[in-house]
Amino acid sequence: MEHSGYSHEVQPGRTSQFLRAYREFLRRPGGRLALTASECPSCPGCRYDDVAVVRDALEHITGELPAPVRTELRRLLEGLDAEFRRRTLHDPDPSHWVDRSGSPYPWWHRRRYVGR
């Protein structure tokens, strides 16, 4: 019961899974990296094929964690985010910066994707 109140995404196993997925994206060889959109973004099995959605989950988790652990995860993410910023390119098309309702996406979605 110690995790009651946490969403399923905040379980320790999920957190390390998402961190691993983020690190694996950054570990790819080559210089610049382009994001890959998920083939079926609404499906729980496939949505995390998009590393920006993985980063969404990590952001969500960070917000739910108790303060000391939150600080630790924040610090971890700062390092990974710096690498992500360094290796991906800004998407210059403003129509990609907002969702269907016009709400702006977080910065990690506003990067270049494969094929767009």
Interface residues toward Zn ion, by CB under 5 A: 40, 43, 45-46
Least distance from Zn ion to the Cβ atom of residue 58, Å: 21
- Compute φ and ψ for 33, nearest 5 degrees: -115, 140
Nearer to Zn ion, 40 or 98 (CB): 40
**Which residue sits closest to Zn ion, CB atoms considered?**
43
For the chain, the maximum distance between any two Cα atoms, rounded to a whole number of angstroms, is 46
Nearer to Zn ion, 50 or 91 (CB): 50
Q: Cα(41)–Cα(53) distance, rounded to whole angstroms?
A: 9
Nearer to Zn ion, 41 or 79 (CB): 41
What is the DSSP track for 51-83? HHHHHHHHHHHHHHS-HHHHHHHHHHHHHHHHH
Q: Cα(111)–Cα(16) distance, rounded to whole angstroms?
A: 24
Least distance from Zn ion to the Cβ atom of residue 30, Å: 27
Least distance from Zn ion to the Cβ atom of residue 37, Å: 13
Least distance from Zn ion to the Cβ atom of residue 41, Å: 9
